[in-house]
Structures are given as C-alpha cells and as structure tokens.
Amino acid sequence: MKAAVLHRTGDLQSLDSNLAVEETKEPDAEDGRAIVRVEYASLNRRDVYIAQGLYSKIKLPVIPGSDCSGLVYSVPDGTSEFKPGDEVIIDPSIQWGDSPSHQSARYSILGMPMNGTFAEFVSADLKNLHLKPSHLSHREASAIPLAGVTAYRALFTRGRLSGGENILITGIGGGVAALAMQFALSAGANVFVTSGNDEKLRKAVELGAKGGALYTTDGWENEIREMCGGRMDIVLDSAGGDSFAQLPEIVSYGGRIVLYGASLGPAHRVNLHRFFWKQLDVLGSTMGSPDDFANMLKFVEERKIVPVIDSEYRLSDITSAYRKMNDNRQFGKIVVMCR
C-alpha cells in the first residue's frame, strides 16, 4: 500500500526527505482488530510536532496520522458488529483506561507509536470503530475524531459549558478551536474569539461568533472585555505562553479557564492573585474517554454539525499540508485524500 512514512525527525525544511510517500506493507489482520481502507485523513498539530521531533517517546519509522474516515476492509470472522464496506471513523485514543477523569499510564494516540492514517489502510481495535455520521462525507468526517473529542471534552466534560454563557476561544484558526466554536454555538453559547489574522476573525463572525480581536494587537484583552459586556464565563485556550497572563484578567469572577495545549510554551508573569481572588477554576483537558468520544459523535449527528475544512491535499503532497499547518495559514481542518 501507499503510505507516508516518517523515517527521521527534524525541521520542516528537510520534511520531504524525512516523510516519504512510499510503498509499504499493509497492516496484518489480527484478532480483535479491523482493517480500514482510508478514504480521507486529516492533520493535527501533533503530526507536525512529531515530524519536528517535539513529541515525547518518538518511535521511528512510523506512519503518522490520528484521524480518518473510510470503509471497513476486513474484520475477524464472526466477531464483530461491523462488516466489510461499513463507513466508519476511528476513535484515536488507545488504552484510555478505566477512569473517566484521566487517561491511563499506557495511553497513546493512533499515529505514533502505532501506525496511523496517512496510508491506504490502517488497523484499529474493533472497540475504536464508530459508524461515520451519515450527514457527513468521508472528507468532512475525517476532520472530526481527534479535534472533535478534544473540543467536546474541553468544553463540556471539563468546562461544563451551558447555553447562554459567554466563552472566549483563542486562536480560532486552529482545527480544535474552530470545531469548539461550532460545538459551543450549537450549545447556545455566545462565542468570542481571537486570531492572528483579520480574515479569520471575519470568518468566525460569519459562522456565528459575536466578535473577535487580534491577539497580535496590544490591549486585545480590553477589546474582548468590551465586546462581552464585562462577563466572560469561560476561556478555552491552547496557546499558553505569555498571552496566558491575559486570561485570568478577562475571565469573570467564578469563571473557568480550560487549557488543552501550550503551543507557545510556559506562561511567565501570570498574576496568581487573580486565580484565588476571582475564585477561578483552571482545568486541564486532553483528548477524551471512550464515553466522551461516543457523546461527541452523538452531538455531531443530532446537531448535524459539519466541520470547517480549510483545504485538501493528496497523500503524495502531504508535506505541503504539514507546511501550511506549521505556518498557521489554515482556518479549520486540513484534510488529505488517501484513496
């Protein structure tokens, strides 16, 4: 089969030689596992970090990719509710464990160390298969799994978001952020956003956001405070870094800050007094349990959510997709046609 195989890590200038689209062995049929023919896969920031060597416990060579939508190609005889030809997506969480509150020590994500979805075929535990939402094409459904479960758990399981609340979602061009905005709007929240790009702010407002500010402008936090009339119930952030210091200033007394990433690294000069004086909850969130995934999928199906797709690449041109993501040029998800 054809697959994108990561042989070495390094900066993205050497990506074309580090990540080669080549013929490789198809996954073996194993007990308890299905083989899925991948129609579309989608990219996550994790894929870029792995290619750059910025992820823990990297094992090479590996076929990256955590997300896909495709067709069941084979299942072990008579042991599955699925049959060849079923249209499925895959929960990328492996060995979440028994606790709904956190993942187990053995937890991993499809696409490293286990071979992932940037290929014509991928192997997955039968427990991780879910029927593709019928209102979505494979192209659209491939955008859902990782970003969807991350956004869902961060907003609802951890963030306890409810209708009528004001929420700030930072870096709205991001794959998780854009889907989180769609989920939050569907739940009846008033969504405010930030971005590094005016055009992305405009798109977010077109999709239903109440307003947004450029995080590259001094005083953006004051703009957001004015827009929301001084009431911000919850902030969803994955940037961290120095801009994290603004978040406890923006969020209202008794509010929540949910952090699911730290793209910009450690936060310095954070005023800790704000946390206890304003009685804030700071909540970390990562991926999601099998229940989070099932609930997310139900939410997407019932509310007919169609994820925002930024652009599509062929598997043979996957390195261009990586570069686009690395440059933050996307709004929503970047998908890769693998068939």
Taking the least distance from each CB to ligand NAP, the nearer of 35 and 62 is 62
- With residue 162 as reference, give the H or E element that holds it: none
The answer to whether 184 and 169 are in contact (CB under 8 A) is yes
Scanning 7-15, 28-36, 84-92, 192-200 for contacts with ligand NAP by CB under 6 A, the matching segment is 192-200
Note whether 186 binds ligand NAP by CB under 6 A: no
Taking the least distance from each CB to ligand NAP, the nearer of 1 and 196 is 196
Query: What is the bridge-based pairing of β-strands 93-94 and 108-109?
Result: antiparallel
Q: Which of 150, 190, 246, 289 binds ligand NAP (CB under 6 A)?
A: 150
Taking the least distance from each CB to ligand NAP, the nearer of 126 and 205 is 205
- With residue 221 as reference, give the H or E element that holds it: helix 220-227
Scanning 25-33, 44-52, 71-79, 225-233 for contacts with ligand NAP by CB under 6 A, the matching segment is 44-52
Scanning 24-32, 63-71, 291-299, 324-332 for contacts with ligand NAP by CB under 6 A, the matching segment is 324-332
Distances (CA, A) of 123 to 80, 89, 117, 126: 15, 12, 9, 9
Taking the least distance from each CB to ligand NAP, the nearer of 35 and 50 is 50
Residues 6+ apart with CB under 8 A from 130: 88, 89, 90, 91, 293, 294, 297
Taking the least distance from each CB to ligand NAP, the nearer of 33 and 45 is 45
Question: How far is it, in rounded angstroms, from Cα 14 to Cα 322?
Answer: 12
Residues 6+ apart with CB under 8 A from 243: 170, 215, 264
| Residue appearing with tokens 């823990």 | 56
- Per-residue tokens: 13: 């200038």
Q: Given CA atoms 63, 36, 22, 67 in this order, what sign does their dihedral have?
A: negative
Q: Which of 65, 175, 248, 255 binds ligand NAP (CB under 6 A)?
A: 175
Residues in 244-303 that interact with ligand NAP by CB under 6 A? 260-261, 263-264, 286-287
Note whether 157 binds ligand NAP by CB under 6 A: no
Note whether 93 binds ligand NAP by CB under 6 A: no
Scanning 56-64, 160-168, 190-198, 312-320 for contacts with ligand NAP by CB under 6 A, the matching segment is 190-198
Q: Which of 145, 174, 248, 255 binds ligand NAP (CB under 6 A)?
A: 174
Q: Which amino acid is at 313?
A: Y
Query: What is the bridge-based pairing of β-strands 234-237 and 256-259?
Result: parallel
Question: How far is it, in rounded angstroms, from Cα 314 to Cα 232?
Answer: 41
Scanning 115-123, 161-169, 228-236, 237-245 for contacts with ligand NAP by CB under 6 A, the matching segment is 237-245
User: By rule CB under 6 A, what count of residues binds ligand NAP?
Assistant: 30
Using CB under 6 A, list all residues that contact ligand NAP. 44-46, 150, 170-177, 194-197, 200, 215, 238-239, 243, 260-261, 263-264, 286-287, 325, 328, 330
